[in-house]
């Protein structure tokens, strides 16, 4: 990979024509699409800080509640690559309108759920139908806007794609705290209706081709659904059930393998495959997608790990978690217009280098984490994360999609978004696995030092026992339980630190790859930074 990266030459779009005029109707249509995408991506994480409230409201078990997110992700990851074909079949207008209307209806149904079975079904429908909105926005941005406008457009979609999952816990925390968990879904109703009407009224980018249905590869669709759906399940559930040691995870892994073989075989052999991989012939798209995969690890991984630390170690509730992680979102919002301006003037290699190093710096700061770290200690790392994400995402989007022909854009945008989601899924699986195993390892080692032969440990136990006896509690038993709790807490913190070390290393390596890329031609500035 290093050799290929070294010899890579970033293709540059032709210089933009001076001040190309834009159809106001299409601008408003695009804004409606962007808001629809925001809702679809937001709903991945909007429930993350409020799972406890949903669990209590539906009387669900701890194993079941995870499916509020998992069902959405499994369904969405199937729809995202399929949306390219559906866009060509139905047209962007019809696909986006159906997606927005279906997402809105499913949101209303989720708010009415009375048990976990209903919630899982409604969330799956919500994720599947809503997933059609995400790639459509990326395709539209690079199809209807001239290169001279992309320094404004790409930061906008980059902001939405990164900001939505980041502030999801914040919005969810506020809504569930102020109202109830039902508000997490009801809040989509009115905006969803507006987006649906706007999409049907304003979108006129292309026409559908119904003849494609006659040649549709149903076998390939079944293979893709089995592969991607099972992959998402294995990645979500594997860490907590020791991967293939669990019968259900093992069965889904087998389905994933068989589905993957069928899917890829049909993708390269069928006359009209469900997913067209020809975009990967473009070296820019290939490397842009690879970078997007790794950015998915950073985006979704840290969106998960910060709230997890604050809830598990510091005991924050959903509202407090939401307020704490809002810092990253604010940093992204401020950086978005700056990254747009820089994309027209700065070497994309430099933007990627700064972004990757900034991300690595933010995670490096958290390697000094202790159980006493609070809101203030996490401000600067989150600022670094937010700024770096925006610098990277704008550049990566331009790199991956900025030079593709319009006829490849719908499939390519689906694949590009899929890589980011899969990166997030893989990242979360690895993070959860490492947290479990590293916590166990650290607990075992710390327990060895906290023994009856350790004078300091005995002194601490005596103090705890004395305090408990003073309150009429069994001192010896209570002191041992307290000490075990302290050791367990410290082991978890040390596991979090290990994760931050690995993320630092990952993004430092990406910075090296950014340096190794060949300098783009001087005409880059005229093409909107790609």
- Residue 189 or 469, more confident: 189
Is the CB of residue 104 less than 8 Å from the CB of residue 200? Answer: no
What is d(CA 6, CA 150) in angstroms, rounded to the nearest whole number? 27
Superfamily of domain 2-15+22-216+274-441+490-527: MFS general substrate transporter like domains (1.20.1250.20)
pLDDT of residue 521: 47
Assigned token pair, 305: 């790990």
Higher local confidence (pLDDT), 410 or 128: 128
For residues 69 and 235, what is the distance between their CA atoms, to the nearest angstrom?
13
pLDDT band of 472, cuts 50, 70, 90: low
- State yes or no: pLDDT of 1 exceeds 50: no
Quick one: tokens of 252?
């889904």
- pLDDT band, very low/low/confident/very high, at 453 (cuts 50, 70, 90): low
Place of tokens 């933010």: 362
Supply the pLDDT for residue 363. 92
Mind listing the pLDDT tens digit for each residue in 488-524?
788 889 999 999 999 999 999 888 887 776 554 443 3
Distance in angstroms (rounded) separating the CA atoms of residues 118 and 398: 40
Q: Where are the domains of the chain?
A: 2-15+22-216+274-441+490-527
| Rounded CA separation 48/482 (Å) | 29
The three-point CA angle 37-43-49 to 5° equals 145
Residue 238 tokens read as 């594997």
Distance CA 478, CA 336 (A): 53
DSSP string for 46-96: TTGGGHHHHHHHHT--HHHHTHHHHHHHHHHHHHHHHHHHHHHHH-HHHHH
Tens digit of each residue's pLDDT (9 = 90 or more) over 359-408: 999 999 999 888 888 888 889 998 998 889 888 887 888 777 777 777 77
Q: State the residue for tokens 């409604």.
A: 122
Joined together, the tokens standing for residue 73 give 């992700």
Mean pLDDT of the chain: 79
Q: Six-digit token pair at 259?
A: 């589905």
- Euclidean distance between the first and final Cα of the chain, in Å? 21
Instruction: Report the SS3 class of residue 518.
Output: strand
Range 443-457 average pLDDT? 68
Give the model confidence (pLDDT) of 134-169 as tens digits.
Answer: 888 877 877 777 777 766 777 777 778 777 877 777
Q: Tally Cβ neighbours within 10 Å of residue 20.
A: 11
């Amino acid at each position: 990979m290093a050799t290929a990266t070294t010899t890579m030459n970033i293709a540059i779009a032709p210089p933009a024509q001076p001040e190309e005029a834009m159809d106001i109707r299409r601008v408003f249509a695009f804004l409606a699409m962007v808001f629809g995408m925001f809702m679809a991506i937001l709903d991945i994480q909007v429930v993350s800080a409020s799972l406890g409230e949903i669990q209590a409201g539906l009387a669900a078990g701890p194993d079941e509640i995870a499916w509020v997110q998992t069902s959405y992700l499994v369904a969405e990851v199937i729809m995202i690559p399929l949306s390219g074909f559906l866009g060509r079949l139905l047209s962007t207008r019809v696909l986006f309108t159906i997606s927005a209307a279906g997402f809105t209806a499913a949101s209303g149904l989720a708010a009415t759920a009375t048990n976990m079975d209903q919630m899982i079904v409604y969330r799956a429908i919500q994720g599947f139908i809503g997933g059609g909105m995400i790639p459509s926005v990326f395709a539209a941005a690079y199809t209807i806007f001239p290169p001279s406008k992309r320094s404004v457009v790409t930061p906008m979609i980059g902001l939405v794609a990164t900001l939505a999952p980041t502030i999801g816990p914040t919005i969810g925390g506020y809504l569930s705290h102020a109202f109830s968990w039902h508000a997490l879904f009801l809040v989509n109703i009115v905006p969803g209706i507006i987006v649906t009407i706007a999409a049907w009224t304003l979108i006129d980018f292309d026409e559908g081709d119904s003849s494609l249905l006659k040649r549709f590869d149903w076998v390939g669709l079944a293979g893709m659904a089995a592969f991607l759906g099972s992959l998402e399940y294995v990645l979500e559930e594997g860490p907590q059930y020791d991967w293939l040691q669990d019968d259900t995870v093992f069965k889904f892994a087998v389905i994933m393998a068989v589905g993957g073989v069928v899917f890829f075989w049909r993708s390269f052999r069928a006359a009209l495959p469900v997913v067209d991989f020809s975009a990967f012939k473009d070296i820019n798209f290939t490397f842009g997608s690879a970078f997007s995969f790794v950015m998915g690890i950073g985006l979704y991984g840290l969106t998960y790990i910060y709230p997890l630390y604050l809830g598990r170690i510091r005991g924050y509730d959903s509202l407090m978690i939401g307020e704490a992680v809002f810092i990253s979102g604010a940093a992204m919002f401020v950086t978005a217009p700056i990254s747009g301006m820089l994309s027209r003037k700065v070497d994309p290699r430099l933007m990627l280098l700064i972004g990757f190093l900034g991300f690595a710096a933010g995670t490096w700061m958290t390697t000094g984490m202790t159980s006493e770290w609070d809101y203030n200690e996490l401000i600067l790392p989150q600022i670094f994360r937010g700024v770096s994400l925006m610098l990277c995402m704008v550049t990566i989007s331009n790199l991956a999609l900025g030079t593709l022909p319009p006829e490849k854009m719908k499939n390519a945008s689906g694949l590009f978004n899929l890589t980011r989601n899969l990166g997030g899924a893989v990242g979360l699986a690895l993070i959860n696995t490492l947290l479990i195993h590293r916590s166990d390892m650290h607990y075992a080692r710390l327990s060895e030092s906290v023994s009856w032969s350790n004078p300091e440990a005995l002194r601490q136990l005596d103090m705890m026992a004395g305090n408990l006896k003073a309150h009429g509690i069994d001192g010896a038993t209570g002191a041992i339980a307290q000490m075990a709790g302290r050791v367990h807490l410290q082991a978890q913190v040390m596991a979090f630190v290990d994760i931050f070390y690995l993320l630092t290393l990952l993004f430092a390596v990406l910075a090296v790859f950014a340096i190794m890329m060949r300098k783009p031609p001087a005409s880059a500035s005229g093409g909107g930074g790609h």
